[in-house]
Amino acid sequence: MDLRGKKVVLTGALTGMTRAQAKAALEALGAQVSSSVSGRTDVLFYGEKAGSKLKKAQELGVEVFDQSVLLEVLASESAGEVAGEGPTASAASAASAAKREILDGEVVEVQGSAAKPYQLKNVGGVYSCSCPAWRNQSLPIERRSCKHLRSVRGEAAEAARVGGEFEVRRTKTDVEKPGLLLAQSWEDHVDPTGWWMSEKLDGVRAYWDGATFWSRLGNEFLAPEWFTETLPETPLDGELWMDRGAFQQAVGIVKRQDRSDAWAELKYVAFDAPAQEGPFEARLEVLSDLVAGGGEYVEALDHEICEGLDHLFEELRRVEGLGGEGLMLRKRGSLYVGSRSSTLLKVKSFHDAEARVIGYTDGTGRHKGRVGALVLERPDGVTFKCGTGLSDGERESPPEIGAVVTYRYQELTDGGVPRFPSYVGVRIDAEMETEESPSGVD
């Protein structure tokens, strides 16, 4: 397939490479890669979860191919297979890099100068290495590279990944930051019959002000233009969500400062329209209209009326069985308020809460030379250790002192210490509460 001078669009989640890598490889073949489909588009390649761009391309009569064809084009070795002449060095190196990708969540070990192999990881498009050269750089983590990453992914792939300019993330003052509706924990004396019920997503809370995503704390999320181009100019409340159990990967993407193509792995799942007056039912209807036909990266969260305790627990078992966090209950006719409210309740089998990292313990056995556990402090001053849930990579490069992290636990002892705590991840969209209920807070 000759792509020289052709206008090409990529959509959906690509397997085996990031969109940035595919773009670099296509441009090396002479293609002009665009982020939107128009009448001038020649070819569209699509991956999983392709949405409105694929539909528009089909309506316009654009040639469309799935990602298997894209991989064949990039991996072509001869002139006839690619462009009718000898392959260029840049195209060959890009195709080679795509074959050696570190998949999301994968850990690759590379023997270096140390006795133990270094670990290379990809978490939500953020690549890291446990070697001192990578850890000691003063650059943002998504901008760091090292010889071990280059040896596995290839020079061209790493150059494409860390190249480009980084924006400065804006931060709102306490007065300016969005006032969001926050949940309390459900207690069994509250009858859920007639309440609206939905899944509790384990994503990153994000307020859309009509132009920009903001965290609960007033920090800007630098989403690419193609991700937000179909969002309404009306404020929305929701979560940037990847999948059940993928909270840390989602965090790794939204905290980046390069408007990365890794955002293609996310969706903005909206569950309220804060600027609309009236009861929740009216806001829900407006929300559905606002996101209808909004493209592949936005959707409205499904809600249903809870028929009683049996229905609540049946749905909770179903969601948790799928790896979900739990449920949310919204009181019928409730208004949107920018504070914690008893009209919004979370329902989970396990409690969760936030704590601050104040130290580490040394690992033993196979964790010798790494962190054994985090020493955490709750808002009430109670300290405890939490090692369960830490990955090998997190033991090598643990959350920094002072970081706020989320942990899960079964119950509190009489002394207020969490029983069986398990680490979930670093929070970038929440802060420590001055007081904490026994069931924790979001």
pLDDT digits (tens, 9 = 90+) for 49-62: 777 788 888 889 99
In the block, tokens 């441009």 appear at 27
Domain 351-426: CATH superfamily, name plus number: Nucleic acid-binding proteins (2.40.50.140)
Q: Is the domain 182-347 a CATH 3.30.470.30 member?
A: yes
Quote the mean pLDDT of the chain.
84
Q: What is the identity of the amino acid at 184?
A: Q
Q: For the structural domain made of 7-99, what CATH number should be given?
A: 3.40.50.10190
Confidence of residue 3 (pLDDT cuts 50, 70, 90): confident
What is the domain partition of the chain in residue ranges? 7-99, 107-162, 182-347, 351-426
Confidence of residue 318 (pLDDT cuts 50, 70, 90): very high
pTM of the model: 0.58
pLDDT at residue 410 tops 50: yes
Is there a common fold for 182-347 and 351-426?
Answer: no
